[in-house]
Amino acid sequence: MKLKVTFIVLLGLCGSTAMAQRKKVQQPVVKTDTTKASPLSNIITKNTESKRGLITIHKTGDKYYFEIPDSILKRDLLVTNWLVKVPGGSPKFGGEMMDTRMICFEKGLNNKLMLRVVDIATKADSSNAISKAVDNSNINPIATLYDIKARGEGNKSSIIDATDFLQKENSFTMIGTEVKQKLGLSSFAADRSWVKSVSAYPINVELRFVRTYGASGAPVKDRGVEKLATEAARIGGAVTLEVSTSILLMPEKPMMGRQFDMRVGYFADAGYTQITDEKVNPKSFIARYRLEPKAEDMEKYKRGELVEPKQQIVYYLDPATPKQWRPYLIAGINDWNEAFKAAGFKNAIIGKEWPENDTTMSLEDKRYKVLRYLPSDVANAYGPHISDPRSGEILQNYVGWYHNVMTLVHDWYMVQAGPNDPRARTMKFSDELMGELIRFVSSHEVGHTLGLRHNMGSSSLTPVEKLRDKEWVEKHGHTASIMDYARFNYVAQPEDKISAAGIMPRINDYDKWAIKWGYTYTGAKDDDEDRKIVSKWIVDSLAANPRLWFGGEGMNHDGRCQTEDVGDNNMKANEYGIKNLKYVMAHLPEWTKDDNDLNSNKNLTQMYLQTVTQYQRYVNHVVRNVASTEETIITPDQPGDIYAPAPAEKQKEAIAFLNKQVFETQPWLLDEKLLNQIGNPARGTSAFSKIQEGTIMQLTSDRVLNTLNMAEQRFGKGKTYSMIELLSDLKAGIFSELKTNKPIDIFRRDVQKYYIQGLFRALEESEKGNNVIALLVSPNAAEEAPVTVGSDVGPILRMHLENLRKEILAAVPTIKDKESKEHLMFIAERIKKSLILK
C-alpha cells in the first residue's frame, strides 16, 4: 500500500465543530418557507417502502425520497465510493475504494435544502488577525439545491426527491476518473443502469448501483503502459460494474490528531494547512482509532497501570467464514493486544464471530468492523480504512480476505520452510499448520486497519548469523515487524533444528513501538504540544533500540528496504536460501505426490515454478544492493546523514554473488529428469535465461551506472564503488573463460551476449543524454522525471568495450573448443560494429 499524504484545509462552514480552534461563528438563521411543501401523506403512502436510519430512504413507485433529519443539518458527512464487482481482466478489483469527500446539508431560502461540498483546506486561530481573511476567503460550494417536498412527522425532518441523485450519474456517485481511464470507459448508459439496493443504518447509508458505460475495446494505458481492454469491452463495446456509495455521519467533535512523522510507519491521509500571522504551516495526521482511557481510569493510566479503553476495537468475522479458520483469524486479531499494552491499554482489541441469526445486525452497518470472507480465486488479502479528513480518526474499516490466500501461503511455506518444517512437505497442509499461516496473515492485515504501513526495512536489522541461532531466533523472531514482507526464515538450515517459532513472523518489537507511539494518550492541549512529546519518544527509543527503525515501504533505491528478504546481508542470507532451494528441488517429486494428480504432474509443475520464482527473488534482492542509496529519515536533533551510498564492499560482494549464483550455469535448476516431468523443458530453461538477462539489464541500466558515477563525483575516487569497478568485476565473472580456457556452454554464451547488449543499450542512451540518476536527490527520486546529465558514462562504456574486444581477440588463439571460439569471434565482431572501429 502506497503512502498517501494529503494536505487538506479545514473550512468547515457546515459543521460547527470543524473549526475546532476558532470561536464559533454565529450563522444567520434561515427561515424556510414550508408553505410550498406537500402534505406528508402525498409522499408516504401505504405502498411506500421505507428504510429508516441516519437518512431514511422512502421508495414510492419509481420515486426515491431522502428524509433528512434536522439533527444532522450542518453536520459533516463522509461520502465514499467503492467498486463492488468488476469485469474479468479488470486492472481494478472489487473492494477497492475509488474516492471520498465530505458533504453537509443545510436549509436554504424558499423551501430549499442545500447540499454543500465541505472543502477542507485552511485553518486559522481567531487570535490571529489573519483569521478574518481566512473566513472571508473560504466558503463551501453549494453543489445542489433540493425542493423540500414535505416535512416529516413532528416537523423534525425534510423530505427531498432523490430519484435523480440515485439513478443519474452525478459528481457524488460517479465512477472515479482513474477507474474510467484504466477500463477505457466513455459515456454513461442510463438505459442499462439501475439502483440495485438501498439501506439505512444509525450512522450510515449504503447505496448500491449497477452501472454500464460505453467502451471502445481499444487498448488502454495504465501508468504509460499500453494494455488490452477487458474482454467485455472488446466483445460487447460496453462495461458493466457494480459500485456502492456510503454516506457516513462524522463525529461532531473531531478527535485531536497526531501529526505525521516519517520516522514511524503510519498512513497519513488527513490534515489541513494552518495559517498564522507569521507563517503557513501544513499539517498531516496519522490514521488511527480514537483510543482513550475512561475518565475514571485516567489517574491509573497516568501512573502507568494498564486500563481498558473507553471504546474497545471490535472486529467481527463474516458469517461466510469457514468454521475451521475462525479461531485462527480471531487469534490474529487478538494478538495485537500485546502491542496495545505498550500504549497503556489492556483488552483494547478483540475479534468475535458474527452472532448467528441476529437480524438486528448487518454487515453494511458501519458501527461494526468486519473481516469480510470473499469466495474468490484471488490469492490475497487486504486491510483498507477510511479516516476522518479533519483528524485522521479511523471511521470505516474492514479486512478483505480472499479464500485463495491459502494457496499463496501454502506455496510460500513449502518453498521457504520445507527444509526445516516437515509439516510443509505436502500439497495439503494440516488444519493446524494452515491455521498458523492464516493467523499471521490476519495479524498483518489488521495492522493495516490500525493505521500501520509496511515496514520493509525491519528485517534488515536481524544479523544473518542470528537467523541460524535456535535460541535467539525463537525468542526474538526473524524480523522485528509483522508489517514487513519478511514471510519466513529461509536462512535456517535443517541441521539448526529451528521450530516454527523461529520461522514464522509475529507481532514484534517495532509493531509494539509503533502502536505505543501512535496510540498512547498524552493529554496534550493541542496537536502541536502532542507532536513535541511524541517526537522526543522517537529520538530516545531509536537510540536505545535500533530494531525500532522504520525503513519505509521499499519504494526507493535503498537495498536495506526490500520485500520478501530477511537478514542484514542479502548475499549471505541468500546463499543459505539457495542452499535450501536445492534441498527443496531435490525433494519436489516426493513432496508434490497427490492421488488426484497422478497423470498431469500439475502439482510438480506448480511447485517447480514457485521454486524458480523464489530463486529469482533472491537474485533481485542482491541486485538492489548495487547502486543502493541508503535513506535514513532523521531530524536535525539526530546525528548522521539522511542519504549515503551503500558501502563499497557490500556492492562488490553483491557482484561476486551474482557472478557465482546467476551468471554461472546452475545445474540444480536445470535437472533434466525433473524438467522432463513437468512438460515442456523449455519452461525451466527459458525461466533461467530470462533471470540472467533481466539481471544484466538491471546492472547496466541508466540508473545504476549514473548513480555509481555520481557517487564517485560526490564522495571522491576510492571512497565508493565506482562504475569502472562494477564493469571490471562483471567482466571478470562473465568472461572468466578468457583466462581459464574452459568451454563456454550455451547458457554462458547467452549471458555474454546479454552483457554486451546491455552495454550497447547503455552506451546509446548515454550518447542521447537521457541518463537517469537517483542518488541523494529526494525521497521520491524513483518517481521523478528523468534528469539529463553530462557524465563520463559514455566514454567509460566505450573504453570498457574496446578493452573487452582486445582481451577476446588475445584469448581466441588459446581456445580449443570450436563452438566457444566461434562465439567469441562473433562477440568481438559485434563490438567492432557497435563502436564503428576500423
pLDDT tens for residues 508-552? Answer: 999 999 999 999 999 999 999 999 999 999 999 999 999 999 999
Cα of 823 vs its chain's centroid, Å: 46
Among 591-595, 621-625, 683-687, name the most confident range.
Answer: 621-625
Identify the burial level of 236 via C-beta atoms within 10 angstroms of its C-beta, where 0-12 means exposed, 13-18 middle and 19 or more buried. middle
Please give the pLDDT value at position 570: 98
Q: Mean of the pLDDT values across residues 339-345? A: 98
Q: Mean of the pLDDT values across residues 591-619? A: 88
Identify the burial level of 99 via C-beta atoms within 10 angstroms of its C-beta, where 0-12 means exposed, 13-18 middle and 19 or more buried. middle
Is residue 2's pLDDT more than 50? no
Is residue 682's pLDDT more than 80? no
Pairing of strands 77-85, 238-249: antiparallel
Among 29-33, 90-94, 772-776, 820-824, name the most confident range.
Answer: 820-824
Judge whether 65 and 57 are in contact, CB under 8 Å: yes
What are the start and end residues of each CATH 3.40.390.10 domain in the chain?
295-548
Name the residue among 162, 164, 163, 170 with its Cα closest to residue 188: 170
Judge whether 334 and 350 are in contact, CB under 8 Å: yes
Name the residue among 746, 747, 649 with its Cα closest to residue 696: 747
Please give the pLDDT value at position 697: 97
Cα of 751 vs its chain's centroid, Å: 34
Is residue 783's pLDDT more than 50? no
State the residue for C-alpha cell 475512561: 294
Question: Which has the higher per-residue pLDDT, 779 or 564?
Answer: 564
Please give the pLDDT value at position 744: 96
Cα 821 from Cα 826, distance rounded (Å):
9
SS3 214: strand
Is residue 19's pLDDT more than 70? no
Among 115-124, 161-170, 412-421, 549-558, name the most confident range.
Answer: 412-421
Please give the pLDDT value at position 254: 92
Q: Mean of the pLDDT values across residues 594-599? A: 71
Is residue 321's pLDDT more than 50? yes
Cα 703 from Cα 772, distance rounded (Å):
5
Is residue 436's pLDDT more than 70? yes
Is residue 639's pLDDT more than 50? yes
Tell me the one-letter amino acid at 743. Answer: P
Lowest mean pLDDT among 216-225, 354-363, 589-598: 216-225
Lowest mean pLDDT among 98-112, 521-535, 649-663: 98-112
Q: Mean of the pLDDT values across residues 582-596? A: 92
SS3 809: helix
Tell me the one-letter amino acid at 203. Answer: I
Lowest mean pLDDT among 230-234, 299-303, 304-308: 230-234
Q: Which CATH fold topology does 295-548 show?
A: Collagenase (Catalytic Domain) (3.40.390)
Is residue 784's pLDDT more than 50? no
What percent of the chain clears pLDDT 70, i.e. is strictly above it?
85
Is residue 33's pLDDT more than 70? no
Name the residue among 209, 210, 290, 287 with its Cα closest to residue 246: 209
What average pLDDT does the structure give for the chain? 86
Name the residue among 510, 538, 403, 444 with its Cα closest to residue 1: 444
3-state secondary structure 302-326: HCCCCECECCCEEEEECCCCCHHHH
Q: 272: pLDDT confidence band, cut at 50, 70 and 90?
A: low
pTM, 2 dp: 0.86
8-state DSSP, 802: H
Q: 356: pLDDT confidence band, cut at 50, 70 and 90?
A: confident
Cell digits for 440? Answer: 499471521
Question: Which has the higher per-residue pLDDT, 554 or 618?
Answer: 618
Lowest mean pLDDT among 208-222, 254-268, 577-591, 786-800: 786-800
Q: Mean of the pLDDT values across residues 387-412? A: 87
